[in-house]
Structure 1
Amino acid sequence: MSKPTHFDFENSVSLRVHFQLETKKSFTALVESIKMLPVSTLKKISLKVSDQHIWLGIAHKNKKMYSPNLHLECKKVLNTTQINAKFGPDPALWTLFMFLHFGLGITIISTLIMMYANFVLQKSINFQISLLILCTCIWIALYFYARYNRNRGKKQAYFLLHTIKGVLK
């Protein structure tokens, strides 16, 4: 018996949607249930298992840049297995996304330092203000681009969610 908790993919501000599931199955039984899915379903997903973690993704032939991954972290709690689930993008894409944010953060901090130095020296700070506005616009654009990609992968995310809920029954 599965017991999904709140899953709000539509209205979540977070780019990596979190939710919890609970099942009476053990971790090994859960992995075996996934491996026993129909061949038609297994051809559509990729499965990776490590320790008490399961990663479900879209198979390589159907994978797009925006295809989601579903990370399941399983914990034994009394007679049940509690599953902390998280949807996210491909790890390589997420790493690139975080690198771009880190670069923007460094640029903003450097620009603020240059702006302060120019302000103290009573020089023009127009360039620094323009650069700060540009960085802010890029940062906002990155966020909305990530939301756009998440929405493009919504159909695949619901497929992964439906698959795992079927396994938990």
Structure 2
Amino acid sequence: MSTTNTIVLRPRFKFHVMHDHETLLKLFEDKKTTQSDFVVSRIDDHVFIRIPKDKQHFWSPQLHLEINKEFEKEGSVIYGLFGPNPTVWTMFMFFHFIVAGLFIAFGIWAYVNWSLGDSFTLQLFFTLFAVVIWFALYFGGRLGKKTGMNEMHQLHHFMRDTLRSEGIHAEG
């Protein structure tokens, strides 16, 4: 699971197993009470695996598994998504939308001033500054992903070990 050299801030994976999806969901639901290293919760066909609150930091990831019945062949498909706490992700996206809105607004203002023959230096500066902030947000997200990398591996190993404890392996 290489996630260091990709541009993706929320790594994903998908694999097929030869077991019924309800069996898999029950397996993860049972882990809720038999271990305390991770917080496991289930909503319908979704399983969320988190680091306990007392061990979390700002960039702590969570693993979201969606376990679906395979319709074309026997078994199930497991979709995985690593991401930060939903509150952190929402805040992060909010900042991106604010910066995008400012970029567009200052860009339009700069264009209007340019087309009217007025000075547009200040507007152009803020437009370019928005690009710098975008890059800062991106690299901040990369830093956060790198900070949570060890925990991502722990979550992935927990998922893998939970499946292997019942002899369940990914199909090629």
Is 1:98 the equivalent of 2:98?
no
- Distance in 2 of aligned mates of 1:22 and 1:156: 24
Q: How does 1:12-161 map to 2 (within 5 A)?
A: 12-37=6-31, 42-77=35-70, 78-161=73-156
Structure 1 unmatched ranges of 5 or more? 1-6
Match of 2:4 among 3, 7, 10: 10
The worse-fitting range, judged by mean Cα deviation, of 82-91 and 69-78 is 69-78
Say if 1:56 and 1:71, in contact at 8 Å, map to a contact too.
Answer: yes
In the comparison of the two structures, how many residue pairs are matched?
162
Runs of 4+ in 1 over 6 A off after TM superposition: none
TM superposition score normalised by structure 2: 0.87
TM superposition score normalised by structure 1: 0.89
The worse-fitting range, judged by mean Cα deviation, of 88-97 and 74-83 is 74-83
- Distance in 2 of aligned mates of 1:9 and 1:92: 22
Query: 2:56 is matched by which residue type in structure 1?
Result: K
The worse-fitting range, judged by mean Cα deviation, of 56-65 and 29-38 is 29-38
Query: 1:23 is matched by which residue type in structure 2?
Result: V
Query: 1:29 is matched by which residue type in structure 2?
Result: T
- Distance in 1 of aligned mates of 2:115 and 2:29: 66
- Distance in 2 of aligned mates of 1:10 and 1:110: 34
Using the TM superposition, give the Cα deviation of residue 112 of structure 1 relative to its aligned residue in structure 2, in angstroms.
1.2
- Distance in 2 of aligned mates of 1:61 and 1:34: 22
Say if 1:68 and 1:156, in contact at 8 Å, map to a contact too.
Answer: yes
Look up the match of 1:164.
159
Using the TM superposition, give the Cα deviation of residue 35 of structure 1 relative to its aligned residue in structure 2, in angstroms.
4.5
Q: Percent identity?
A: 28
Using the TM superposition, give the Cα deviation of residue 116 of structure 1 relative to its aligned residue in structure 2, in angstroms.
1.4
Look up the match of 2:169.
none
| RMSD (CA atoms) | 1.7
Secondary structure in structure 1 of the residue aligned to 2:48: strand
Using the TM superposition, give the Cα deviation of residue 31 of structure 1 relative to its aligned residue in structure 2, in angstroms.
3.3
Using the TM superposition, give the Cα deviation of residue 79 of structure 1 relative to its aligned residue in structure 2, in angstroms.
2.4
Structure 2 unmatched ranges of 5 or more? 165-172
The worse-fitting range, judged by mean Cα deviation, of 18-27 and 112-121 is 18-27
